[in-house]
A and B are shown apart, each in its own frame.
Chain A
Amino acid sequence: MSKRKANYAAKVKRATHMLFYKRHKKPGVKGWELRKALGSDYPKVLKVLDDYLKDLDLKVQTVFEEERQIEKPNLEQLDKARFLITLRGELTPKEAKMVGWRIDDLAGLSIAISHIISNKGMAPRKEVEELLREKLPNWKVGLNIDRYIRYGYLTQDEGEQLYLDWRTRAEVDQKALIDSLLRTET
């Protein structure tokens, strides 16, 4: 193995440890942390790791500070971004149960997220609660929304407006969700 390759292999290993193991309260690693540990060529290291992970149906996901995805990020934007490992493909509902989600809770999350997306990324909590009440028992609605907030899927401001939070940006392909919902035949 050439010296360069060996060097990259070591960096990929280090990146794997950093990305897979939970280091902070929030999962994932910030770009500047990776730069510090792997050097300024960390985006290349992540690209190599991402290629390795393809076969395992996993991927390196980048969540930018800005709400939208950035096509060609600069180094500063990458340094501020959070890098995580996510599933590349899809889970089946059965598998979702194994991850620890009840079908009710997952459906509620899906409704809340899609409603917020269709309302330009912001919706009053009351409105989302009303929507969930259609299919979930009343006592569960508030608890579920609090849980979505606690997990980082949603966030709420002082005016009780709900927004999408970092975990939705990391885990949910918003466009795919809306497209599939509209395509689904009732």
Chain B
Amino acid sequence: MQSKREREKQGREKLTRIIETCKSVEERSLDPFLVDIDESINTAKEFLPEWKIPEDLCLDAETIHRLASVIKLQSEWVKHRSTSLYTDPFLLQEKLMRLDKERIVETFMMAWHPIIEFEQISLHSIMEALQYWLNLLPLNERWKEQPPQEVAAGHATREELVKERILREQMFSEELTSFWQQLKERVTAKGKDGKITYWGFVGAETYGETVDRAFLTSFLVTYGYATLEVYPLEEEIFIKPNEEPEVKIGKKQLVSMPIPIPVEDWQRWKRGELN
């Protein structure tokens, strides 16, 4: 008596063999009638009750899929044989082998009607091309280097440079110090335990201003004017001004803390949904 495992193994082997035969018929254009569809279907049917795991059921499905493809090929084969173009390939091959080259070409000539096409230039194209050539500047003129334009040197006032956004209105260090003072004042007025929420400090009337404040805040923290307190679980960030700028290098491991400032968050802050 065959054990269950042995029977399953035998079934898998049989289905794999059917799949391989179908594949070779499809890929190598073999006669699709080489596959005995009835017998293959019976084999698949016979083993179907044995399959329990998904892999075996997939194998069964693939077998059916491959058999369906072969049936399609058989149908095409029958259709082709019924057309006037059908010729037994072996018969034709035999014929071709027996004919000499001259006879093959003679036969081909009876069925070949080559395409007629001109590749002749017209007078109109020549005239157009001539006109183009006449209007075309010589290369040395087209590729001539443009000398740099001379501009007389002059003086620019600080106000002009600020207007051109080359200089900021205040020196950066001055701006940072006044921003630090602003942080201290904001903490005294609105903060709790000597600190204020990040958005409570950087948030401003316009989005651009908010980004500007976030940019300066990052320098406050980097240069030791303030400390960030991050509570990841609560998703809260506080900023705490230091009494004096602290030099952190060498004392602690410094970490980088990217804080995104998306417009959506700024809008939420404006609506009072973000502290």
Contact = CB atoms under 8 A, between A and B. Distances in A.
Interface of A: 20-22, 27-28, 58-59, 61, 84-93, 96, 99, 103-104, 106-107, 109-111, 114-115, 117-120, 122-124, 131, 134-135, 159, 161, 167, 170-178, 180-182, 184, 186
B105 A110 contact: yes
Contacts of B256: none
Contacts, number: 141
Nearest to B87: A118
B165 interface: no
Contacts of A85: 115-117
Tell me if B's interface is mostly helix, strand, loop or mixed: helix
A88 B114 CA distance: 9
Contacts of B114: 86-87, 91, 99, 171
Contact of A110 (B28, B89, B93, B108): B108
Contacts of B102: 93, 103
A127 to B, nearest CB: 8
A28 B115 contact: yes
Interface residues of B, number: 40
A86 B116 contact: yes
B121 to A, nearest CB: 10
Nearest to B76: A120
30 contacts: A21-B119, A85-B117, A91-B114, A93-B105, A99-B114, A103-B105, A104-B101, A106-B108, A107-B101, A109-B108, A110-B105, A118-B92, A119-B29, A120-B29, A120-B77, A123-B29, A134-B97, A161-B29, A167-B115, A171-B114, A174-B111, A175-B84, A176-B111, A177-B107, A177-B110, A178-B87, A180-B111, A181-B104, A184-B99, A186-B98
B120 interface: yes
Contacts of B133: none
A173 B93 CA distance: 19
Across chains A and B, which 7 residue pairs bring their CB atoms closest together, nearest first?
A: A177-B111, A110-B108, A186-B98, A176-B111, A118-B89, A107-B101, A86-B113
A115 B90 CA distance: 9
B109 A92 contact: yes
B85 interface: yes
Contacts of A91: 109, 112, 114
B107 A110 contact: yes
